[in-house]
């Protein structure tokens, strides 16, 4: 993954060049076709995603919950909490996404705790009140 592709994403925008290079080694860029199920509610979590281009729909129990676009991320709740997916996410258009596996996320938590803290803060914001 090219570190320059991460810099415009809000999740990574404040990272130094060195930090971006490190995160880039833990991630892959993937092209996704419209209609592709990126995560399915109830499935075990192995990765999380950050959208570079395109749009996705979030569904919980079959109901539309939200739309996601460039800069948004998903899949982190189940990954961080070692639980099953809390919602399904389906590509509404062709997409480019950054994918990080769970083992790499845990390594990032150790080496770049400020990024992990940002993700954990987002989890708290998304948690039902």
Residue 20 falls inside a structural domain: no
Domain membership of residue 74 as a residue range: 30-126
Residue 14 falls inside a structural domain: no
Residue 97 falls inside a structural domain: yes
pLDDT at 78: 64
What single-letter DSSP state applies at residue 33? -
Q: Which residues contact 103 (CB under 8 A, 6 or more apart)?
A: none
- Distance CA(128)–CA(14), nearest Å, equals 28
Question: What's the pLDDT tens digit per position in 91-110?
Answer: 999 999 999 888 888 888 89
Residue 80 falls inside a structural domain: yes
The pLDDT confidence band at residue 126, using thresholds 50, 70 and 90, is low
Strand-strand pairing, 37-39 and 88-91: antiparallel
Residues facing 59 on adjacent strands = 64, 88
pLDDT at 79: 66
CATH of the domain at 44: 2.60.120.10
Domain count, the chain: 1
Residue 21 falls inside a structural domain: no
pLDDT at 116: 80
Alpha helix (H) residue ranges in the chain: 3-6, 17-26, 76-81, 102-111, 113-126
Question: What's the pLDDT tens digit per position in 49-90?
Answer: 999 999 999 999 999 999 999 999 888 776 677 678 889 999
Least confident of 24-28, 38-42, 114-118: 114-118
Residue the block writes with tokens 């919602």: 87
- Distance CA(31)–CA(50), nearest Å, equals 12
């Amino acid at each position: 993954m090219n570190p320059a592709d991460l810099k415009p994403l809000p999740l990574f925008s404040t990272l130094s060049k060195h930090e971006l290079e490190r995160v880039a080694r833990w991630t892959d860029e993937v092209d996704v076709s419209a209609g592709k199920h990126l995560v399915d509610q109830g499935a075990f979590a192995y990765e999380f995603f950050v959208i570079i281009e395109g749009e996705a729909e979030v569904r919980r129990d079959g109901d539309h919950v939200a739309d996601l676009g460039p800069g948004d991320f998903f899949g982190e709740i189940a990954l961080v909490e070692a639980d099953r997916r809390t919602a399904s996410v389906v590509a509404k258009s062709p997409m480019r996404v950054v994918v990080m596996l769970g083992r790499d996320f845990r390594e990032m938590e150790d080496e770049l705790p400020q990024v992990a803290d940002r993700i954990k803060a987002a989890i708290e914001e998304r948690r039902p009140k």
